[in-house]
Amino acid sequence: TVVVHSATKYLGGHSDLVAGVLAGPAGVIEEARERLKSFGPNLDPHAIWLLERALKTLVLRVERQSQTALALADWLASHPAVVTVHHPGLESHPDHGTARELFDGYGGMLSFVVHGGDRAAVRVLERLELIAVAPSLGSVESLVSMPRYTSHAAMSREARHAVGIEDGFIRLSVGVEDVADLRADLEAALSPGP
């Protein structure tokens, strides 16, 4: 088995480097190392330093992101502007039991669907002040996006719905900000009015 992992996201955690990790049997890694020498994809010393520095706070960041994401998911689940919330920490999630058994936390990603479809979701994103609109994830800054316009833009509406991306679907990658600040930003963005 070979694993290709993006170190740009949670491992780097600060939206300041582009890196990846290849893991697997020694023979496969050695062959990949020899082939990659020809293409020059090695990290520069500064990127290596950034990644090494970021790894020192990985556990702290992920624990905080996971706790905050669960708190926001719980809160959003009862918000009148929200149709549904997807987060494995919620008992309503189909994989909650498995996640509870296998992991120490539930992760910093969640998604939710707002009443009013895509137009209402765009309005929410436009009204956010603290949470940045960006298609990335795993950063110390909370980031929000609509997969309908980013990662899944090439898919038909029917295909998106088949994989669970409904109209009004918003993806939130929770950072390390104070949960009260994030909740206030979301509350203002979800509230009715101009």
Q: Which residue carries 């990335």 as its tokens? A: 136
Same-domain pairing of 26 and 113: no
Same-domain pairing of 49 and 130: no
Same-domain pairing of 18 and 109: no
Domain hosting 158: range is 58-190
Same-domain pairing of 160 and 85: yes
Task: Say what the pTM is.
Answer: 0.90
Residue 106 belongs to a domain with what CATH number?
A: 3.90.1150.10
pLDDT of residue 42: 82
Same-domain pairing of 161 and 100: yes
State phi, psi for 57 to the nearest 5 degrees. -110, 10
Same-domain pairing of 120 and 142: yes
| Three-class secondary structure of residue 121 per DSSP | helix
Low-confidence ranges of the chain (pLDDT < 70): 194
Same-domain pairing of 99 and 45: no
pLDDT in tens, 42-69: 889 999 999 999 999 999 999 999 999 9
Could you give the number of structural domains in the chain? 2
Same-domain pairing of 28 and 72: no
pLDDT of residue 90: 95
Residue 178: partners with Cβ closer than 8 Å, 6 or more residues away: none
